[in-house]
Amino acid sequence: MNTIADILERNAREWPDDVALVEIDTPDEGLHKTWREAELVESVPDKAFRDEMTWRDFNERSNRFANFLLSRGFKKGDKVAILLMNCLEWLPIYFGVLKAGCMAVPLNFRYTADEIKYCLDLADAEALVFGPEFIGRVEQIADMIPKVKARLYVGSDCPMFAESYRNLVTYCNSTAPTVPMTEEDEAAIYFSSGTTGFPKAIVLQHRCLLHSCKVEQAHHGQTKDDCFLCIPPLYHTGAKMHWFGSFLVGGKAVLLKGVKPEWILRAVSEEKCTVVWLLVPWAQDILDAIERGDVQLEDYKLDQWRLMHIGAQPVPPALIKRWKAVFPHHLYDTNYGLSESTGPGAVHLGVENIDHVGAIGVAGYGWQTKIVTPDGVTPVKPGEVGELALKGPGVMKEYYKNQKATDEILKADGWLLTGDMAEERDGFIYLVDRAKDVIITGGENLYPVQIEDFLRSNPHVKDVAVIGLPDTRLGEIAAAIISVKDGETLSEQEVNDFCLGLPRYKRPRKIIFADVPRNPTGKIEKPKLRQMYGAAGLVAHQNGLTV
């Protein structure tokens, strides 16, 4: 196969009438109004909305959009931005872009109008496909994005500054266009999370996407009979690339729009899901709901659920211990990666290594790893902490239009520097922290993840983030921002007493009870926390002000 779109063509040939995708829109989220809404009920107040798509329909919709783009003069290498909430249209649009030889540019649904404009400009996007949730934001910048010659609206009541996707695409040719492509052709631009400033544009080739399919299926053994539950946003590699394992074997996937424990369990039960990828907060919420009695496991059919895996952030060992106590038959895996490595799987624990929970694991399928000194090249001595580096077919081509940043992260012989500090013990890699998050206090290096893992083992703690705050004497001190479980209490003195189990230099010097902000992929937004609680922000917090 030359491109990832070839897999879709094969699935449509071999299993045309099998269900490929299911969309479930929960009442908690509110019905998502798609271009098909006129054919559907207007509101379903007491139950979820459900729709499905076969592999034939999936492929034909992609072909129609590809042919539309070509008819409009789009050519190989042109960029098409996608700004949609998860819905059935999302993936056919994505693959339609690829089949036309263009580059897909998924956008974060949380972007402000200014951030949308910034990313469109940076990527040189010439088309934007957007949904009803983004009308206001796109309208703000409509006169400031002259390069975007096609604005396609996926919804009813098309705004004046856009064209109706449905009206333009529905009747286009449904056969695959012929656009010569190889696996070395550029396929997509994904944006970095932007947790350290404006996002960078990551160029991925078709070989990256193809390898990601193989990695996921090799790690988790998906078969045609498996059903994958997808909850995270499809704009991010962490969601789509996990689905790729099911895509490779023609398995069904369910797009669930809602993260409440009862809806996750209901979707697993009613759709017979076998593989579920969760973020840490969602797994915690499920366990908390079970412990509180808010959900009763006997109300759901869960015997077929065989694998729960987590990624996108460090996973507290205490959480997995709790999970296995409730779901002892589940296989468990954790996956590590970044958008620059085409998402998860560059490192993974492996379902056979449950006894090493706490590690991110070993090199993934087709990947190599090493831990290096600050020069970015020399391996550290055994047992020392250094920066994790990766090498494999999933490494990005470059940061688009940013050679300086590319040279900083891509080293000789194709090694990719991750920015994550790690150490190796007994053949397994343990993530220590982001290099930028290391706290230096009185000359000692503190790794917040280690302190966070310890604090999360407190039964009253729902979530926690540890950051460094300026200190005139020590340079920095560790501050713990703690979110307490609903219905429970926790005092500063109780936290300090609990932390007696840590070495003295690792104990947080300041305790702050507040919510822990996370981005859509579950990563703690530490720059935001440092801004909120550093210097003036901390004074404002203590005085009950908003910063």
> Residues 408-437: pLDDT tens digits?
999 878 999 998 889 999 999 998 866 677
The token pair at 269 is 């039960």
What residue type is 524 in one-letter code? I
* Integer CA distances (angstroms), 77 to 100, 187, 378, in order: 9, 8, 37
Instruction: For residues 432 and 83, give the distance between their C-alpha atoms in angstroms, rounded to a whole number.
Output: 34
Please provide the average confidence, as pLDDT, over all residues in the chain: 89
User: What local confidence, expressed as pLDDT, does residue 47 receive?
Assistant: 58
Is residue 535 predicted with pLDDT exceeding 70? no
- Signed CA dihedral, 457, 458, 464, 465: sign only: negative
The token pair at 258 is 């809602």
Residues 6+ apart with CB under 8 A from 38: 156
Which residue is listed with tokens 């936290």? 495
Confidence of residue 502 (pLDDT cuts 50, 70, 90): confident
Residues 6+ apart with CB under 8 A from 214: 248, 365, 366
| pTM of the complete model | 0.82
Angle formed at CA 121 by CA 119 and CA 127, multiple of 5 degrees = 90
Query: Does residue 137 come out as left (phi exceeding 0), alpha (psi in the -120 to 50 range) or beta?
Result: alpha
Residues 6+ apart with CB under 8 A from 129: 80, 81, 82, 83, 84, 93, 152, 154, 165
Fold entry, domain 438-542: GMP Synthetase; Chain A, domain 3 (3.30.300)
- Could you state, in order of their start, the residue ranges of all structural domains in the chain? 5-258, 306-434, 438-542
Is residue 222 predicted with pLDDT exceeding 60? yes
User: What local confidence, expressed as pLDDT, does residue 36 receive?
Assistant: 36
User: What local confidence, expressed as pLDDT, does residue 40 receive?
Assistant: 39
- Is the model more confident about 383 or about 47? 383
Q: In what order do the strands lie in the sheet with 368-372?
A: 368-372, 386-391, 416-425, 428-434
Instruction: For residues 32 and 156, give the distance between their C-alpha atoms in angstroms, rounded to a whole number.
Output: 11
User: Among 131, 66, 55, 133, which residue's Cα sits nearest to residue 93?
Assistant: 66
User: Among 182, 186, 221, 229, which residue's Cα sits nearest to residue 205?
Assistant: 186
**Average pLDDT score over residue span 43-62:** 82
The answer regarding whether domain 5-258 maps to CATH 3.40.920.10 reads: no
**Average pLDDT score over residue span 67-71:** 98
User: What local confidence, expressed as pLDDT, does residue 474 receive?
Assistant: 74
192 exposed, middle or buried (CB, 10 Å; 0-12, 13-18, 19+)? middle
The token pair at 123 is 């990527």
* Percent share of the chain, pLDDT over 90: 69
User: What local confidence, expressed as pLDDT, does residue 194 receive?
Assistant: 52
Instruction: For residues 94 and 244, give the distance between their C-alpha atoms in angstroms, rounded to a whole number.
Output: 13
- DSSP secondary-structure letter at 270? H
User: What local confidence, expressed as pLDDT, does residue 314 receive?
Assistant: 66
Fold entry, domain 306-434: Luciferase; domain 3 (2.30.38)
Instruction: Render pLDDT for 462-495 as a digit per residue (tens, 0 to 9).
Output: 999 999 998 876 778 999 999 999 889 999 999 9
User: What local confidence, expressed as pLDDT, does residue 442 receive?
Assistant: 64
Instruction: For residues 70 and 78, give the distance between their C-alpha atoms in angstroms, rounded to a whole number.
Output: 11
Instruction: Render pLDDT for 140-194 as a digit per residue (tens, 0 to 9).
Output: 999 999 999 999 999 999 999 999 999 999 999 999 999 999 999 999 999 986 5
Specify the range with the lowest mean pLDDT, choosing from 277-291, 394-408, 509-523.
509-523
Is residue 122 predicted with pLDDT exceeding 50? yes
Is residue 33 predicted with pLDDT exceeding 60? no
> Are residues 431 and 425 in contact, defined by beta-carbon separation less than 8 angstroms?
no
Residues 6+ apart with CB under 8 A from 348: 219, 333, 334, 335, 336, 360, 361, 362, 364
* Integer CA distances (angstroms), 290 to 298, 382, 482, in order: 11, 42, 22
Specify the range with the lowest mean pLDDT, choosing from 37-51, 121-135, 193-207.
37-51
Helix (H, G, I), strand (E, B) or coil at 229: strand
Confidence of residue 542 (pLDDT cuts 50, 70, 90): very low
Confidence of residue 21 (pLDDT cuts 50, 70, 90): very high
